[in-house]
């Protein structure tokens, strides 16, 4: 019996087939539609539903709404810059009167409006609603946050509280803008930087803020994405009542460790570099191996046109194993 699978097309592929750049995929509605149109033939060949056009993935709307500066290079991912220059700035943090007034948020909303005129079914989103508490604190302060938890725990807690409260208020504001609200249901938190904190610090600096964010999101099922957790951190997933853990590209955890030590359901992923470097046969064997660890789901994506035969092979085995599971 095999696991479910998830598959998608990456922004890198859209840029390649659309002959556009990253900046255009964030801010030019016509370029976005052009790239997604060229994706339709590939989707048909792979027998998957063509995705609805949307802006490139963007993790930083929340910190942008707080005033953080973010650069959008033409040939790469957005680059955020810390908002907090010194410890004293933490005491000066305050939520904006209008979370949607920041210039970058306005620019994103304008692009979304233009895109919806071309494709009315485009989802009402300009990016992630939030990042996890530790990740948000690091985005706001930089790597100095990891010293702050030792040097000034009181200020660290103040920053983490601000990170969670402002994340919830940004999420509520942008959802309200689209005629929606925070509702009960399964909710996920992406907190990749949490694993940099040692297990000894987790009970004080991580778990209370995960709990606070899940509660504010009205989570009926708790999903966690974190890529730097180690085996010693896994016990905390039970404490914070995580239902599904997504390690994604976690360099410290693998299927074998998770199958033996993870206290909740988990997912696994075939990484882009594995698709780049392995043959079709090797990828099929890898998928079967990962399925043997009994994950909730195995994910993979297509990043390059040249990998089409490999993706076909992966989808074939994924469908066969998922069918066996039904």
pLDDT tens across 286-326, in order?
Answer: 999 999 999 999 999 999 999 999 999 999 999 999 886 54
As given in the structure block, the two tokens for residue 5 are 């699978």
Structure tokens at 191: 């907190």
Prediction pTM value: 0.95
For the chain, the C-alpha Rg in angstroms (whole number) is 20
Beta bridge partners of 79: 71
Structure token digits, residue 242: 């995580």
Average pLDDT over residues 198-215: 98
C-alpha 161/C-alpha 253 separation (Å) is 29
CA–CA separation, 184 and 161 (whole Å): 22
Bridge partners for 71 per DSSP: 79
Q: Which of 192, 193, 198 is nearest to 233 (CA)?
A: 198
Q: Identify whether the C-beta of residue 197 lies closer than 8 Å to the C-beta of residue 204.
A: no
Instruction: Report how far residue 157's alpha carbon sits from residue 213's, in angstroms, rounded to the nearest whole number.
Output: 14
Residue 242's closest CA among 293, 296, 201? 296
What SS3 class is residue 228?
Answer: coil
Percent of the chain with pLDDT over 90: 97
Q: What is the mean pLDDT of the chain?
A: 96
Is residue 269 helix, strand or coil?
strand
Give the pLDDT band (50/70/90) at residue 29.
very high
User: 297-302 and 265-269: which strand pairing?
Assistant: parallel
Q: What is the mean pLDDT of residues 77-99?
A: 95
Query: What per-residue confidence (pLDDT) applies to 1?
Result: 60
In angstroms, the Cα distances linking 254 to 249, 259, 284, 285, 299 are 9, 9, 18, 16, 14
pLDDT, residue 325, reads: 58
pLDDT score recorded for residue 75: 87
Cβ-contact 230, 182 below 8 angstroms: no
What is the structure's pLDDT at 251? 94
Closest CA to 168 of 243, 89, 62: 62
Q: How far apart are CA 6 and CA 1, in angstroms?
A: 17
Span 138-181, pLDDT tens digits: 999 999 999 999 999 999 999 999 999 999 999 999 999 999 99
State whether residue 219 is helix, strand or coil: strand
**Main-chain phi, psi angles of 66, to 5 degrees:** -90, -10
Is pLDDT above 80 for 2? no
Q: 96 with 66: CB under 8 angstroms?
A: yes
Of all residues in the chain, what percent are helix, strand and coil, respectively (each to 5)?
55, 10, 35
Contact 290, 298 (CB under 8 A): yes
In this prediction, residue 135 has a pLDDT band, given cuts at 50, 70 and 90, of very high
pLDDT of residue 32: 98
Q: What is the 3-state secondary structure (H, E, C) of 175-223?
A: HHHCCCCCCCEEEEEECHHHHHCCHHHHHHHCHHHHHHHHHHCCEEEEE
Residue with tokens 């539609």: 33
Q: What is the pLDDT of residues 219-242, one digit of tens each?
A: 999 999 999 999 999 999 999 999
């Amino acid at each position: 019996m095999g696991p479910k699978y998830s598959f998608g097309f990456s922004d890198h592929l859209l840029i390649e087939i659309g002959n556009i750049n990253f900046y255009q995929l964030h801010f030019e509605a016509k370029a976005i539609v052009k790239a997604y149109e060229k994706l339709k033939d590939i989707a048909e060949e792979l027998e998957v539903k063509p995705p609805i056009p949307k802006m490139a993935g963007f993790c930083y709307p929340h910190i942008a709404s707080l005033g953080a500066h973010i650069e959008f290079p033409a040939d790469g991912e957005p680059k955020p810059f810390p908002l907090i220059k010194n410890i004293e700035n933490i005491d000066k943090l305050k939520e904006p009167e209008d979370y949607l007034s920041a210039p970058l948020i306005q620019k994103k909303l304008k692009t979304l409006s233009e895109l919806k005129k071309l494709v009315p079914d485009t989802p009402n989103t300009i990016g992630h609603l939030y990042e996890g508490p530790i990740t948000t604190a690091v985005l706001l302060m930089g790597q100095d946050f990891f010293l702050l938890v030792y040097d000034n725990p009181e200020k660290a807690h103040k920053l983490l509280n601000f990170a969670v409260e402002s994340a919830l208020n940004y999420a509520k504001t942008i959802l309200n803008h689209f005629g929606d609200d925070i509702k009960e249901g399964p909710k996920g938190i992406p907190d990749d930087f949490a694993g940099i904190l040692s297990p000894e610090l987790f009970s004080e600096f991580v778990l209370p803020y995960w709990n606070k964010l899940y509660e504010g999101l009205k989570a009926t099922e708790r999903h966690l994405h974190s890529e730097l957790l180690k085996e010693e951190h896994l016990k905390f997933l039970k404490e914070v009542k995580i239902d599904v853990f997504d390690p994604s590209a976690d360099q410290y955890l693998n299927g074998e460790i998770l199958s033996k030590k993870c206290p909740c359901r988990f997912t696994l992923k075939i990484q882009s570099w594995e698709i780049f470097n392995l043959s079709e046969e090797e990828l099929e064997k890898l998928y079967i191996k990962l399925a043997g660890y009994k994950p909730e789901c195995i994910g993979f994506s297509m990043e390059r046109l040249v990998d089409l035969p490999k993706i076909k092979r992966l989808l074939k085995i994924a469908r066969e194993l998922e069918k066996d599971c039904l």
